[in-house]
Amino acid sequence: MELLNIKEMQGGAGALQEQVKQIKLIILGHANSGKTKLISEMAGQPYISNHNTTLTGGRDEIFEDGSRARVQFWDPCGMDHYDSLTSMYTRGSLCAVICFDLTDRDSLETVEKYMKKLEENCSDNLVKALVGNKSDLMQERKVLPDEGQKLADHYNCKYFETSAETGENVQELASYLIQQAHKKELLFPTISHRLLDSPIRRGGGGCMGKDTC
């Protein structure tokens, strides 16, 4: 595993060095499934309904073995519907969420399309999860838990039901993906402190000014 040695700026040339890995996590899914709010919650970032951010945010992770990683959360924010752009957004992803709306049965039918996009553009070692969002809307549910689990079993991935509104299972989802990527000992790209501390990039995607993500 190739890692970057980073000198702490405060200590100068004689400072201890640390190793930082980078994990890219992307979310894809049906419009109106709540995926933008979901990934904002995973990243610990405020939700902006009409944002045009592709890089939603990041957070630092420290694993039990003492190693450290920077997790970047990517939301194509509607641009994942354009096949020509999918490879650009998914390239280099180590973790992926395919999201559908538990209150919209039609959204379940789009899972196959997004799973194919991951197969075409990502490594076989990709850690992925199928997520049924809006679990707080129990009275409006159109997809049963067994149906979601069966589909996840078909794609050999973990199934979660989450609520981006209440936070139910959101951090459990994030932790699972990040820990599994670490356990697989994937070859993480490396980044410097300057990138770690840089502001979130804006533009290059977007919801076209609509709250449809």
Pure H helices in the chain? 35-43, 83-90, 105-108, 111-121, 145-154, 170-183, 193-196
Pick the CATH number of 18-196 from 2.160.20.10, 3.10.20.30, 3.40.50.150, 3.40.50.300: 3.40.50.300
The model's pLDDT over 15-39, given as tens digits with 9 standing for 90+, comes to 444 567 888 999 999 888 998 899 8
Q: 170-183 and 35-43 helices cross at what angle (nearest 10)?
A: 70
The model's pLDDT over 105-157, given as tens digits with 9 standing for 90+, comes to 999 999 999 999 898 888 888 999 999 999 999 999 999 999 999 999 999 99
Q: Which residue, 161, 171, 158, is CA-closest to 137?
A: 161
